[in-house]
Amino acid sequence: NTMRDFLRDLPKCEHHLHLEGTLEPDLLYPLAQRNNIELPEQFPKTVKELEDRYKQFKDLQDFLDFYYIGCEVLLKQEDFFDLAWAYFKRSHSQGLKHAEVFFDPQSHTSRGIAIETVVSGFQKACVKAQQELHISSKLIMCLLRHLPVEDCKATLESSRVLFETQQLHGLGLDSAEKPFPPELFAECYETARTFHPDIQLTAHAGEEGDASYVSNALDLLKASRIDHGVRSTEDPELMARLARDKVMCTVCPLSSVKLQVFQDVRELPLTEFLNAGIPFSLNSDDPAYFGGYILDNYVAVQTRFDWDLATWEKVVRQSIEGSWCDDKRKNELQ
């Protein structure tokens, strides 16, 4: 298949990937067993049943209910390592070169796991991915916006040293978007900016929430990147701003269809973004839940948009340019 081969060989960067969202059903059950975790009564009993349930999510919350149960099977440093290493190996076969990946410490610290356990497991996988697969990576810690702000502040304090020592590079904001707007987290982001001069800030906005969530993430959180951002098209002034300030939107095609933000990949505002000059990257979000890793997302886009070589070169160049790695690494990626 020449289209897939062409897309596989493009030097791909992923900027919107939740490590907990890479937990495949065929790893979930063995981990539950290995850690003696009892899954809820109504939870599907087999890999096949779970895969079938993943084929139909009503909305973001319906997905998140499964995602947080999945998190419960992760306990030990090696579980976090195994999870991330499986992601890197699989994505390497799809042409991934650089990954900036999210994790949600609160899903784990709430169960008594130390944040250091989570981070050290992920970090080992990142080191191995660099050494054996030549994939560079950065870790982005996300705050869960559905939890009390006080909880998020405490999590931030517990992560201070990890940012100071640059084991963590970025701060993000995820989980249920709609009743939890960016303004609730302005203080958290202000605190995070004191942790390190090079800390990078992003936030999920404009997936469920309207365009004002995107504007407020820029104004009040001082985010330099927006995760999803697909509802920005509702506000022409915001579109002009995203283009002028070169704010990258990390678009997730298969995710947005699975969560019924759009009925089909062809409805994604990629042509609008290209015409407006807004940089974006294509990402898998939670590949174990949404039916595809990074290359599958590239293929889904090409099947609908039929871009020419020049457009793909532009999209690839913008995703390298918008990455949070240094110029030396960016040059290697070109």
Smallest CA-to-CA distance from 98 within 126, 67, 57 is with 126
Q: Could you say whether residue 296 binds ligand HPA (CB under 6 A)?
A: no
Residue in 12, 15, 18, 98 binding ligand HPA, rule: CB under 6 A: 18
What tokens appear for 256 in the block? Answer: 């947005």
What tokens appear for 94 in the block? Answer: 């799809």
What tokens appear for 302 in the block? Answer: 């090409």
| 18 labeled binding residue | yes
Q: Rounded distance, CA 279 to CA 103, Å?
A: 24
70 Cβ contact partners less than 8 Å away, ≥ 6 residues apart: 20, 23, 28
What tokens appear for 267 in the block? Answer: 């409805």
CB of 59 to ligand HPA, least distance (A): 11
CB of 255 to ligand HPA, least distance (A): 6
207 in catalytic set? yes
End-to-end CA distance of the chain: 24
Q: Rounded distance, CA 44 to CA 50, Å?
A: 5
Which residue, 75 or 84, is less far from Zn ion as judged by CB?
Answer: 84
Q: Exactly one of 24, 72, 207, 208 is catalytic; which is it?
A: 207
Binding mask 252-291 for ligand HPA (x = CB under 6 A): ---x-----------------------------xx-----
Binding mask 186-205 for ligand HPA (x = CB under 6 A): ------------------x-
Residue in 72, 82, 174, 296 binding ligand HPA, rule: CB under 6 A: 174
67 binds, among Zn ion, ligand HPA, none (CB under 5 to 8 A by kind): ligand HPA
Q: Rounded distance, CA 5 to CA 18, Å?
A: 26
Which residue, 100 or 285, is less far from Zn ion as judged by CB?
Answer: 285
145 Cβ contact partners less than 8 Å away, ≥ 6 residues apart: 152, 173, 174, 175, 176, 177, 180, 184, 185, 204
Residue in 12, 15, 21, 298 binding ligand HPA, rule: CB under 6 A: 21
CB of 174 to ligand HPA, least distance (A): 4
User: Site residues (CB under 6 A) for ligand HPA?
Assistant: 18, 21, 60, 67, 174-175, 204, 207, 255, 285-286
Catalytic residues: 207
